[in-house]
Amino acid sequence: MPITGVYFIPAHPNASTALGNITERLRSSFPDEDLIQLGRWTLEQKLMRDTPGLLPTSSGPNQRPSKPRYMQFLSLSHYYNHGFIYTSEPAEKPFHPPNAASPSPAATPATPRPQGAGAGAGAGAGAATAGSVNDSTTSNISPMLMTTVPHSSYSTLFQHFTYACQPFWCHRLTVVVQNGVFYDIGDFRVRLGDVRQTYPTNRVRGTVVEIEWRGPSVIDSLDGAVTSDVNEETDSGVDVSLSALEESDIDAEFAATALLIREFWGRLGVEGAREAILVPGVGSEVKERLVKLKGARNGLSGPTEDDPDPQAGADVARQYLEVLRFNR
Partner 1 sequence: MHELLLFASVPTHQHAELLQQLAGLTAMQPRHCFERRLIFKAYRKPGVANARVGASQDLQSGDLQRVNKMLNGGMFYTQVVGPIQSADFADAGVTDAAANASANANPNPVNPDPDTDTKMDGMDSESSIPRSAYDFDQQSWQLEFRDIPEAGTRSAVTSRVMATAALPRGDIVPSMNAWGYSFVTEYLVEGDMFIHNDIVLNLHRVLHYPTNPGEENQPRRQMPTLQQMAPLEKSGSYVLQASMMVQDGSNQETMKTASQHLFGLREQLKSAVRLEMADRLSLDTRVK
Q: Which of residues 73-112 bind partner 1 (CB under 8 A)?
A: 85, 87-90, 92-98, 100, 103-104, 106-112
Q: Considering the rule CB under 8 A, would residue 227 count as an interface residue with partner 1?
A: no
Nearer to partner 1, 7 or 158 (CB): 158
Under rule CB under 8 A, which residues in 22-51 are in contact with partner 1?
A: 51
Q: Please state, in angstroms and rounded to a whole number, the distance separating the CA atoms of residues 144 and 129.
A: 11
Sign of dihedral through CA atoms 304, 305, 311, 312? positive
Q: Please state, in angstroms and rounded to a whole number, the distance separating the CA atoms of residues 155 and 160.
A: 8
Q: Considering the rule CB under 8 A, would residue 242 count as an interface residue with partner 1?
A: no
β-strand pairing of 274-276 with 203-213 = unpaired
Q: How far is the CB of 30 from partner 1 (least distance, A)?
A: 40
Q: Considering the rule CB under 8 A, would residue 117 count as an interface residue with partner 1?
A: yes
Q: Considering the rule CB under 8 A, would residue 138 count as an interface residue with partner 1?
A: no
Strands (E) across the chain are located at 3-10, 39-49, 70-76, 82-88, 129-130, 144-150, 170-185, 188-199, 203-213, 274-276
Count the residues of the shown chain that bind partner 1, applying the rule CB under 8 A.
74
Q: Please state, in angstroms and rounded to a whole number, the distance separating the CA atoms of residues 184 and 305.
A: 31
Q: Considering the rule CB under 8 A, would residue 295 count as an interface residue with partner 1?
A: yes
Stretch of 29-37, 39-47, 120-128, 315-323 contacting partner 1, by CB under 8 A: 120-128
* 164, 20 contact by CB (below 8 A): no
User: Which residue from 152, 187, 235, 328 is in contact with partner 1, where contact means CB under 8 A?
Assistant: 152
Stretch of 133-141, 228-236, 256-264, 294-302 contacting partner 1, by CB under 8 A: 294-302
102 CB-near residues (< 8 Å, 6+ apart): none
Under rule CB under 8 A, which residues in 49-68 are in contact with partner 1?
A: 51-52, 54-59
